[in-house]
Structures are given as C-alpha cells and as structure tokens.
Amino acid sequence: MPEATVATRASEATSGRTVQQVDVAVVGAGFAGLYLLHRLRKAGFATVVLDEANDVGGTWYWNRYPGARCDIQTVDYSYTFDPELESAWTWSEKYATQPEILRYLGFVADRYDLRRDIRFGTRVKEATWDEAAERWLLATDNGANVSCRFYIMATGCLSAPKPPEIAGVGDFRGEVYFTGRWPHQEVNLVGKRVAVIGTGSSGIQAIPLIAEQAAHLTVFQRTPNFALPAHNGPAPSDRVAMLEGNRAGYREQARWSLAGVPWPQQTAVSWQLSDAERRERFEKAWATGDLVCILTQLWADQGVDVDGNALVAQLIREKIRAIVTDPETAAALSPYDHPFGAKRPCLDTNYYATYNRPNVTLVNLRQEPIKAITAFGITTSKRSFDLDVIVFATGFDAMTGAIMAVHPITGRGGKPLSSVWAEGPQTYLGLTVAGFPNLFMITGPGSPSVLSNMIVSIEQHADWVVDRLTAMREAGFTTIEATERAQAGWAQHMADCSTLTLHRLANTWYTGANVPGKAQGVMPYTGGVGPYRAICNEVASRGLLGFKLTGPNVPEQCNDGEIVRLQPDVRLVLNMLADMKLPEIESLGAAGARAFVTMFNAGRPAGRPVGEVVDGTLPGTDGPLRYRLYRPATAGPHPIVVYFHGGGWVLGDEQSDEPFCRDMCRRSGMIFVSVGYRHAPEHRFPTAAEDGYAATRWVAEHAAELGGTPGPVLVAGWSAGANIAAVTCQLARDRGGPPIAGQLLLCPVTDATFDRRSYIDNATGYFLTRPLMYWFWDLYCSPADRTDPRVSPLRGKLEGLPPAFVVTCEFDPLRDEGVAYAEALRVAGVPVEQLKARGHIHTSFTMVDVVITGVAGRARMADALRRFAGLPQDMGKREGAGSDRNASPPEAIAAAE
C-alpha cells in the first residue's frame, strides 16, 4: 500500500497515549511550514503541522514589537509558487509591517485551506527514530504524540529568543518585554521610563517608535550596528515595473541570484573607481533604501575584501556622524569592530536621528557594562537608571536554537543530535544529518537561509524535499539518509565558502558568538542562493549523490561521494566558462590563440595599484626583449624577482600575467620584472629557456639601475613560465651565475611525460586540458629534444639549486609533475616547500580578484619569496595569509644537510 494512502489517523500506542499516524510531520507553521503543507498535500502525503503558536505566521506571529517589518522588499519577500496567489495579494508598502505580513500568511492559510491540518498550541518536545518501524515518534506537550515516516523541521532560523544573560532580571518590578515574544494586547509605553537592551535589527526597528512614546528612553548598546535608511513608502515603481513586466523571469532571476533578490552582479572593483565614482555609487544606494542593493551593488570586492569593504564602512560612518549631532554619541554608534555586512546590517526609519531627541540616552556598554538589573532599574559600572519598562531586543539563538530545543532528537543507534552537533552543526546541504534518517531541516545550518531572501530559500528547500519524497515513494524507498562522507565533504565546502566572504571576521549570530558556550563557526552557507540551488539540483541529478536509500522491496541505493570538490569560486568560474562555450584554444592556431588570450585578458580586473610600472627592453641573446617592471610603493631598494609568464611557450607576453605580478609585488614588497621571452612556433626550443636565462643574468647585473637590492635575484614563473624559472636556476648554477636566492614555481611544467595520474584525471574540464598541453609541446619542442633538462628540468641535475617553493593545484594536469619535481629537489638536498592547493585548477592563483580563495596561497608564496630574500615575514601576513583553509599545510622539506 503506498504511504500516501495511509490517511491521517489516530491509534493507541502501547503507553496508552494517543499517537497520530501520518506520512509526514512538519514542525512550524511559518512561511516554510505552510508551503510544505500545501505541497505535501498536493503530492498525496498525509501530513500534520505542529506549532507552539496559536495561529499561523511563525516569525510574524511572535514578533509584534513596535516597528516590526521585513527588511527585504515585499515584492521579493512573498511566496512565488503560485502566480494566482501573487496577483490575488497586493502589498501596501515597500516594507510591510508585521500585522500586514501576518495577514498575508493568514490569507495564504485560508486560500489553500491549510489550518485543518495544523495543530496549534502544540510544542514538539522530543523526537525519536524508531529503527525497526522506520518512523519518527514526536512527543508533544499537547494532545496526541505523532508517528511519522518523515520529520521536517520548519522550526525557523530566528525563532528561539536568546534569554538575557544579565543578573537580576527576575528582580525587576517593572514591566519586561521581549521583542521576539511581544504581547498580543497593546503595550502602552506613553510617559514611561523605558530601557531597550540590544541594537540588532529588532532594537533598531523598535527604538524610534518607543522613543516617540516614552517619557525617556535609555538604549543599552554593546555592539553598534550598521543601519541604512529604509525610505519606506509605496513599493518603488522601478521594481514593480520589473516584476510586472516579466513576473516569471523576475522570480527565476531571484532564484539564481546570490541573495535571492534580482540585482545584477557587480564587476567593477573598488580600486578601479575614483573616490568620486565610489561616492556617487554609495549615495545612490543609500537613497535606494535597500539592503541587498547596498550589499551588492557598490563594487565587486565590498563583501570579499577587507580593503574594499572598509571603503563602504567609512562612508556609512560619515553618514552617522552627519546625522547624530552629539559627536560622542555618533562615535559610540559607529561600528568599527566588524566589516560591513559581516553582521546582519539593518534597515531603519529615523534610527540615528532618534539619538538627537532630548528624551533618548545611549549607554555604551563597552565603556560601562551592566552590573545588574535591580528591582527599580539597571545599574552599570558607572551609574544607575530608574526604569518602568525594560525591553529586551537581545536576539535569537539563531539557526540551531529551535532545532536543539527539541531535545533529545535521537537518531540511529540512539545517538542524540546534541552530541553529534557538540562542536557545531554538521549537515549535508543544511537539509539533512548523517545518522538521522528521514529528518529534514528547512533553511537549516549549512544552507543560505539567513543570508538570503528567506522566502526564496524556503521555497527551494520545500520543493527539493517534497520532490525527493515523491520520487522515493515512486521507487519504493522508505528511508533516506546522508552519508558521513557527503556530510564531511559539505563541511569542507562550507569552510571553503566561508573564506570567500568576510563573515568569518565578525563575532555575530551567524557564527554563534551571541550565545555563551555555543560552538563557533559560520553557520549559513556563504556561497550564494543560485550556486546552492545548482548544487542541490546536481545532487538529485547524480542519483542522490551522498545519500543512502532503502526500502522493503528494493535493493539499497547509495551513491556516495562529495558534491563539490572544487573551491566555490573556481566552480563558478568553470561554470561561467562552460556557459560561454569558448572555442578550444588549440583549434585556433597560434595567431588565433594569441588574439583569443588578449581578448580574454581584456575582460579581467587589471590588478591593483603598485608604486610604479615601468616598461623597458633588455638585451637578449638575439636582440632586445621587452620587460615590464612592477615596483612596490614602499621605499627601495627592493629585492628583484625575475618573472616568467605562463602560456605554454606559445602565448602571453610580459603583460599577460599583470594582475598576478601586481599582487605579488604588493604582497612581497619586491620588484617583479616580467620578461617578454620569445615564443614558439616562431622560436622553438630552447629559445624560451635561453631568453629566460639571459634576461635573469641581465636583470641581476643591472639590479641597482632597476632600483633593486644588489646581490642575488629570485626567479618565479607560472606554468611554462615556471618551467623557464626552474631551467634558469639549473643554467645559472652550471654557467657561473647569476646567483639566485630562491625559485617560486607555480604549476610548473617539469617533464615531458603524459601518463601521470593528474594528466589522466584532469584531462579535460579544468581550463588547461591535455590536448592543449600536447599542442603546446608540439609547437615548442620536437620529441627528440623533450628529455633535455632545458625543457624537462626534472631530468636534469638538481643538486645545488636555490631553495624552492612549488605550488601545485589538485585539478591540474601538471599537478603530479610539479609534485615530482619538489620531491626530486628534496632528494637532491634542496630546501623546498610545497603548497598543494586543494580544489584549485591551473589558473586559480593567476585569476587575481576573480578566484578569491587564491588569496591565501599567494600570501604564502609572498612569504616564501621574502624568506628566500632574507626579509622579515610580516609583510606577507595580509588578509587571508593566516586562514589558509584551501591548501594543505605547507610540507616543509628540509635540505638533506
């Protein structure tokens, strides 16, 4: 009998307590629970929804404080699953109030007749997986317990208010309110002395309205927050026009966007814009009154780079100073302790201006912490405040609070979720947990959830879950469970994603820092709504990758594996390139390939400013060679790095690795001289190698003229350029100089052998392909010459070479020959360090400002160069250098002697 034909029914459990039998139990009747119920019912699953609240609404049932509103525009903050529903409801404002949103959810519940399957006033206390019956048993505090095949927690990310951590709350004789549990009856604050503790989103919304009523309002602030004017009013005509012009297209764009709201991707980075241009963009965004706009539309690096972010933060602090008349209050309200956006910024209506009112006092808890709440008010380390009312706007135990409040949730083998999550939430896709079959979480930790327009994320999760349940039923499966491997892979991907954004740099409720004793770590998925959706779709299309499914009459199915092994931004770049359907470079001929590379490079960020860029020529063996010199902005002289660009001995020039040279010049504090060596097929082997050597010699001899430090130079290169750098070191050793202090080899070509594992595994799909490498080799070097150490340095003598830093990337055909070269250097007694970059491809580190996860690796390269040059290390410890999660720890291979 298919599960769906089992009608909701009650039965007597052995304990004598009534047990309600259903296919699916959903906990929570907010946006998520309501949509789930609608879909599950349509799919024919007998479903019950349980909610502690006495009506639908979730967040909007509980948060009734003055000023409570959404802060994603209501045109976006609505269900999108039914176009008829969309046309049946019109929002009255750009940002709807709590009562209006609650009315909307009531309207939805009525329209789809949802209430008849919802048990209100019913809290789920415990949940236990019954292994034999393959069902969850939910213990409730009101009425029948529930036995269900599938247990879906739609319990909300922000639904467990955080209890105040201040001594004496119970002693206070006045009125106490919590923004997250505001009374249903009207609260009269007129003429009263009111305190608000907390300046997160709720506090910032409530404070201006409370100030209008209270005789005096004292705001106790621990951490100032960035707030932006909402400019509320009617829904902006441009957004409405966009939506109404193409509703389906608009919604689809939202689903594939980064934050669940359709705004275009910014490409200009902050340092490409003048001060005036940045200010103009900022003023426009400030006037727009839209969080997603200001978080995404200023410049591309604002959310990923501390410097790009600091520019926005500074402009907002200027606004605060302009609005708040008392400089001391303005200073206290100005956030300096977190990047803008790393903590949830707020939308406000007159928030900062409220502090200009004579009846409002700001208490900076960083300077005078609260000592106690007494019977009559609040005492800080400096003074006492007599109060009639205290409002706690202290936020939520976010993301995990409501899940963990069902305690215990006992999974397979009697294991409680609390022990599995003792070090922080572990999930697969933020939807499931290994060891907890048939349990799903909607917008759980590990999914975009609170970093998105949550309605888009809720609908995506609910659709994904219901589609899986339906497919399982059709295939005869009764259990689904994430595998440990898939879950561990997701944790790694989450960690990789969190190096992309600045959320990791702030102590916030995103990281659990607001709850004492809570495990710390970025909980929401920071890779974006669209990429996340693509991943969930891919899990499904690859035979439910990472899930084990069982059923009574079907063989077990387990397609184990990790869904994302590439670094998140590398994955995005590869997907983007795949969409562009670019021609195969080797099919273009040398001239066509060069034109293609020039065009391709023109579309990338040019690279950050350095002290000076100088073009020149140097005498090569057969005539002048062009070079481009990048000088640091610091006072010289600086050590010199002679750099050889990539391009398979065929493509590129002294400018083609410009962003990399600029970045490394800045990070290392050294001069980079990028050499325009000659190319094949016009100049075949050994021209590139000989040009490289000749150029290095000339640079060493003219170091002082170039502004360099006299003494040994360093060499560096990428790909074929790293081949030239490695060969140059061998030639310099054998030909009596110049002295070389160290070599940085990034994805080097070291050997004309094509049967190593990496050549096979990464033959296609990762930008540098095996066919392309064959083409390069054929153009540069005849088969007879390929064992010559001037093109296969691995075959040369390696003793006596300068210390080396060898970088290899996991998904690169050249990976294993790079690793082999590092090993061989070690055996030859050369001091060598390796950076094996996990999840990276051949082009990762040179795609500066595109592949953000390459930052940490380049910081390590710069450190190595400084070490080779005998410089102190501190310069290289820029952003990302200390948090390198995307590469293996350095394998320091000491010299043999």
Ligand X SMILES: Cc1cc2nc3c(=O)[nH]c(=O)nc-3n(C[C@H](O)[C@H](O)[C@H](O)COP(=O)(O)OP(=O)(O)OC[C@H]3O[C@@H](n4cnc5c(N)ncnc54)[C@H](O)[C@@H]3O)c2cc1C
Contact positions toward ligand X, by CB under 6 A?
Answer: 27-33, 50-53, 58-59, 61, 63, 68, 70-72, 77, 123-124, 154-159, 202, 402, 405-406, 442-443, 453-454, 458
Rounded to 10 degrees, the C-alpha dihedral 679/680/682/688 comes to 50
Pairing between β-strand 439-441 and β-strand 640-644 as defined by DSSP bridges = unpaired
Q: Which is nearer to ligand X, 250 or 477 (CB)?
A: 250
> For residue 867, how far is the Cα from the chain centroid?
32
Tell me the β-bridge partners of 696: none
Q: Which is nearer to ligand X, 159 or 668 (CB)?
A: 159
Look at residues 80, 105, 104 and name the one whose alpha carbon lies nearest to residue 455: 80
Q: How far is the CB of 405 from ligand X (least distance, A)?
A: 6
| 464, 440 contact by CB (below 8 A) | no
Q: Which is nearer to ligand X, 60 or 672 (CB)?
A: 60
Q: Which is nearer to ligand X, 202 or 687 (CB)?
A: 202
Q: Report H helices in 297-392.
A: 306-323, 327-333, 351-354
Q: How far is the CB of 52 from ligand X (least distance, A)?
A: 4
Extract the runs of DSSP E, i.e. beta strands, from 13-111. 18-27, 47-50
Q: Which is nearer to ligand X, 28 or 524 (CB)?
A: 28
DSSP state, 196?
E
DSSP state, 155?
-
> For residue 115, how far is the Cα from the chain centroid?
38
Helix/strand/coil for 572: helix
Q: Which is nearer to ligand X, 37 or 46 (CB)?
A: 37
Q: How far is the CB of 103 from ligand X (least distance, A)?
A: 14
Q: Which is nearer to ligand X, 33 or 802 (CB)?
A: 33
Q: Tell me how far apart the alpha carbons of residues 724 and 585 are, in angstroms, rounded to a whole number.
A: 22
Where does residue 883 rank: exposed (0-12), middle (13-18), buried (19+ CB within 10 A)?
middle
Q: Which is nearer to ligand X, 157 or 835 (CB)?
A: 157
Extract the runs of DSSP E, i.e. beta strands, from 387-436. 389-392, 409-410
Q: Tell me how far apart the alpha carbons of residues 673 and 615 are, in angstroms, rounded to a whole number.
A: 9
DSSP state, 430?
T
Q: Which value, in Å, is the radius of gyration of the alpha carbons in the chain?
A: 31
Q: How far is the CB of 403 from ligand X (least distance, A)?
A: 8
Q: How far is the CB of 346 from ligand X (least distance, A)?
A: 10
Q: Which is nearer to ligand X, 409 or 871 (CB)?
A: 409
Q: Which is nearer to ligand X, 443 or 508 (CB)?
A: 443
Tell me the β-bridge partners of 9: 21
Q: How is 780-818 classified by DSSP, letter by letter?
A: H--GGGTTSTTT-GGGS--TTPPPEEEEEEEE-TTHHHH
Q: How far is the CB of 395 from ligand X (least distance, A)?
A: 9
Q: How far is the CB of 66 from ligand X (least distance, A)?
A: 12
Q: How far is the CB of 427 from ligand X (least distance, A)?
A: 16
Q: How far is the CB of 145 from ligand X (least distance, A)?
A: 12
Q: Tell me how far apart the alpha carbons of residues 709 and 637 are, in angstroms, rounded to a whole number.
A: 5
Q: Which is nearer to ligand X, 269 or 393 (CB)?
A: 393
Q: How far is the CB of 156 from ligand X (least distance, A)?
A: 2
Q: Which is nearer to ligand X, 459 or 496 (CB)?
A: 459
| 43, 33 contact by CB (below 8 A) | no
Q: Which is nearer to ligand X, 120 or 596 (CB)?
A: 120
Q: How far is the CB of 121 from ligand X (least distance, A)?
A: 9
Q: Tell me how far apart the alpha carbons of residues 646 and 641 are, in angstroms, rounded to a whole number.
A: 16
Q: How far is the CB of 654 from ligand X (least distance, A)?
A: 49
Q: How far is the CB of 875 from ligand X (least distance, A)?
A: 42
Q: How far is the CB of 381 from ligand X (least distance, A)?
A: 31
| 725, 743 contact by CB (below 8 A) | yes
Please report, for the chain, how many H helices and E strands are present, in that order.
Answer: 26, 31
Maximum Cα–Cα distance across the chain: 97
Q: Report H helices in 499-567.
A: 529-541
Q: How is 222-291 classified by DSSP, letter by letter?
A: SS---EEE---SSPPHHHHHHHHHSHHHHHHHHHTSSSSS--PPP---GGGS-HHHHHHHHHHHHHHT-H
Identity of the residue numbered 635: A
Tell me the β-bridge partners of 19: 11, 145
Q: Which is nearer to ligand X, 403 or 469 (CB)?
A: 403
Q: How far is the CB of 439 from ligand X (least distance, A)?
A: 13
Q: Which is nearer to ligand X, 418 or 764 (CB)?
A: 418
| 75, 194 contact by CB (below 8 A) | no
